Structure 1
Amino acid sequence: MKEVTEMTKSGEKKQLLHLVFGGELESLDDVQFSDLSGLDIVGIFPDYASALTAWKSKAQSTVDNAHMRYFIVHMHRLLDPEDKSGK
């Protein structure tokens, strides 16, 4: 799938912020973290591609723990729910 690059009025690449975080789940049936103070905030990334790279790295490093999960949150959608562009 081809990624669409949106530009700002000044001609710069539009930031589509993504948060990558994870933690250990109480069970495999639900997204309920066992310890909120132990959440791993990997970072905030300017686009989906860089967030996906960070997510893959963290997810692969914890593959031995079935209860550990990492997520990508599309922050740009929370900041501007009317904007339907980008991932």
Structure 2
Amino acid sequence: MAEESSNQQLLHLVFGGELKSLQGVQFKDLASLDVVGIFPDYKSAEAAWRAKAQETVDNAQMRYFIVHLHRLLEPQS
């Protein structure tokens, strides 16, 4: 059982897009959201997030997020 928990996948989604306003988290165009990918752990998701955030640093309204999918899939864990 301990081996199973150490091999557990902790899936993370990285996505982003241009916001309507800097005061909220509402996107200008849902059809143009950039889904970077799903990653097996936080470390690799964070690396992808940092790369995309750096790539779009000149656009203040562009935001990328990391979603902890594993928490949505198994909320009681």
TM over 0.5: yes
Task: Describe the SS at the equivalent of 2:4.
Answer: coil
State how far apart, in whole Å, the 1-side matches of 2:51 and 2:70 are: 22
- Matching residue of 1:63: 57
Considering fraction of residues, name the structure with more helix. 2
RMSD: 1.4
Q: Displaced runs of 4+ in structure 1, greater than 2 A? A: none
Question: Residue in 2 aligned with 1:3?
Answer: none
Could you tell me the TM-score, scaled by structure 1's length?
0.83
SS at structure 2 position matched to 1:70:
strand
Identity %: 67
Give the equivalent residue in structure 2 for 1:13: 7
Pairs within 5 Å for 1:8-87: 8=4, 13-83=7-77
Residues 19-61 of structure 1: CA deviation (Å, up to 9, x unaligned): 0000000000000000000000000000000000000000000
User: 1-side partners of 2:49 and 2:63: how far apart?
Assistant: 10
Closer, same or farther: CA 25–14 of 1 in aligned 2, 3 Å = same
Count of aligned residue pairs for this structure pair: 76
TM-score, length-scaled by structure 2: 0.94
How far off its partner does 1:14 sit?
1.0
